Amino acid sequence: MVTLAMLMLLSLNAMAGMTVSSCAAAPVKDPTIYITGSGSIELVWKSGKSIVYSSDAYAVFGGLDSVAITPSRGWHIDSVSFDGNPQGIADEDGFTLINVEAKRAVTVTFLENGGVDDVDIGPYMKAYPDPDVGLIFDNVLTDGFAYAYIIGLRQPEQIGESWDIQTTAAFDENITIYLVCNLADLPNATDPNDLVLWRTEVVLGDVNLDGKVDGTDVSIIANANPDDYDPKLDLNDDGFVNDEDVTIASQNIGEESVWEPLESWFYLEDNLVYVYGVTEHLSIFGVTRSW
């Protein structure tokens, strides 16, 4: 015979079973790494284990010790957050955070440099103003910027992508610039000897870098947005782009830039071509030789 006590015990057991079943069905969200752009995140745990991620992924964050954030060549770090909390960016070219507290997500956004990159103080400072080309500057005295403009100017019997590169950083006496480029980025160059380095004396006012000053250059300066300062258009270096710069360009209409081969030499390392040249303004060409 089933007693009241037995019925109560059976009822409690059933309720307990329902509770356990409900808890087991609750979804568990894995921590996630979110990466936008081109770069990598290295997670290091207190145990010493480390994993490098270059795209969105799930990761176990328990016991996390540090996070190293590294942009790809020609990219920089734009934002970092842990569990939705923004983190300070110590160096947009890459840095490591230690004693990391992140349980749900590490989110990093990388952006392309877009033709301009920082030049820091110190020896052998790296800058990648363009994803296809980079520079290493020796003996940098003051901070500045490296500019890389893709240009259409072609020397006789030469074809391929071209970059006009200059910097606003100050250097110790004569400097050596190491221009770094990947042969894969220069479809017409299959050998370091197919690369020609040129020093350019760009005539003042040739702001579109087509080798001459004409009405197009004057128009570019005259129509520049004063709130969007472009040092390339500031011909008298007074910190403003205005009528004075328009006047300078107008006075130089018809003048042409001077190009001359720069004495340089090359070496290959990991399929990258390092080009040495002593100058602060240079151009690189991927060429096809016809002789």
Model confidence pLDDT, tens digit, residues 240-279: 899 999 999 999 999 887 777 766 666 777 767 777 766 6
Q: Which residues pair with 79 in a beta bridge?
A: 109
pLDDT at 20: 35
pLDDT at 7: 43
CATH number at residue 77: 2.60.20
Q: Which residues pair with 163 in a beta bridge?
A: 150, 284
Q: Does residue 248 share a domain with residue 137?
A: yes
The verdict on residue 9 lying in a domain is no
pLDDT at 76: 92
Q: Write the pLDDT tens digit of every residue in 148-176.
A: 877 655 444 455 566 777 778 887 766 67
**What is d(CA 172, CA 151) in angstroms, rounded to the nearest whole number?**
29
CATH number at residue 212: 2.60.220
The verdict on residue 251 lying in a domain is yes
Chosen domain end from 60, 77, 112: 112
**What is d(CA 283, CA 179) in angstroms, rounded to the nearest whole number?**
9
Q: Does residue 168 share a domain with residue 226?
A: yes
Q: Does residue 237 share a domain with residue 173?
A: yes
Phi, psi of 166 (to 5 degrees): -150, 170
| Owning domain of residue 68 | 32-112
Q: Is 193 strand, coil or helix? A: helix
- What kind and span of H or E run contains 125? strand 125-130
Chosen domain end from 48, 81, 112: 112
The verdict on residue 148 lying in a domain is yes
**What is d(CA 63, CA 98) in angstroms, rounded to the nearest whole number?**
12
**What is d(CA 233, CA 149) in angstroms, rounded to the nearest whole number?**
13
Q: Which residues of the chain have pLDDT under 50?
A: 1-2, 4, 6-28, 154-157, 288-291
Q: Does residue 192 share a domain with residue 78?
A: no
User: What's the structural domain count of the chain?
Assistant: 2
